[in-house]
């Protein structure tokens, strides 16, 4: 019988894991900002609040993994929740931007969001299946670039109409970057699927 390694109680409340928990907590906080936008009729305040929360949450994505490695505080719960937190944050923001009062993501731009969401679901399912086969799929450098561009695009789009008052092309820049992320997403998704399919066939 395979022995299941359990995390030490101290690891559950380590700083890297607390940062991951905070990123999950940021999801309903960003949603609350869009709710307040409709209730208070103050889109600028709501949008800039959403941007600040999202940017801080995105930075924790880098910090939690980095700190876990240098402090040797990697844990099972951290490995499980880290990708989940990322996908929850991205998916929530894309859905909110598609239904907000300004319709920030609309028309053809919805396809960029759909591509990104479908890729995340596909890769998650593939990773879960390969994990049962004891096969790990490493994150490529281009996938990291995709994530970076994607996060910057969402930050611009969250600023939206409020950001347009500071920089006229804020929303347009966000849409362009979202499409760039979607195109890279298609490539990385195919790359992951091809690598996974090889292990499945073998």
Predicted structure pTM score:
0.86
Q: Cα–chain-centroid distance for residue 9?
A: 27
Does 187 fall in a domain? yes
Q: Which two tokens stand for residue 198?
A: 């090889």
User: Does residue 3 fall inside a structural domain?
Assistant: no
User: In sequence order, what E strands does 64-201 have?
Assistant: none
- Whether 1 maps to a domain, the answer reads no
Place of tokens 């479908």: 118
CATH code for position 190: 1.20.120.1760
Q: Is residue 185 part of a domain?
A: yes
Assess if residue 42 is contained within a domain: yes
3-state secondary structure of 134: coil
pLDDT digits (tens, 9 = 90+) for 102-118: 789 999 999 999 999 99
Q: Is residue 132 a part of any domain in this protein? A: yes
Whether 189 is covered by a domain: the verdict is yes
Whether residue 13 lies inside any domain: the answer is: yes
The total number of structural domains that make up the chain:
1
pLDDT in tens, 145-198: 998 999 999 999 999 988 999 999 999 999 999 999 999 999 888 877 777 777
pLDDT at 99 over 50: yes
């Amino acid at each position: 019988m395979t022995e299941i390694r359990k995390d030490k109680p101290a690891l559950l409340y380590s700083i890297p894991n607390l940062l991951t928990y905070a990123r999950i907590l940021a999801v309903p906080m960003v949603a609350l900002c869009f709710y307040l936008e409709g209730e208070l009729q103050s889109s600028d305040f709501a949008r800039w609040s959403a941007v600040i929360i999202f940017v801080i949450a995105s930075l924790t994505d880098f910090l939690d993994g980095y700190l876990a490695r240098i402090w040797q505080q990697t844990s099972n719960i951290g490995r499980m929740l880290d990708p989940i937190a990322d996908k929850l944050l991205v998916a929530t923001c894309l859905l909110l931007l598609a239904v907000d009062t300004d319709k920030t993501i609309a028309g053809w731009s919805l396809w960029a969001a759909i591509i990104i969401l479908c890729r995340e679901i596909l890769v998650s399912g593939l990773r879960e299946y390969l994990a049962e086969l004891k096969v790990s799929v490493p994150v490529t450098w281009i996938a990291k670039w995709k994530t970076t561009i994607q996060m910057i695009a969402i930050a611009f789009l969250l600023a939206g109409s409020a950001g347009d008052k500071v920089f006229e092309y804020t929303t347009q820049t966000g849409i362009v970057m979202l499409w760039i992320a979607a195109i890279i997403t298609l490539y990385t998704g195919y790359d992951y699927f091809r690598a996974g399919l090889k292990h499945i066939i073998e």
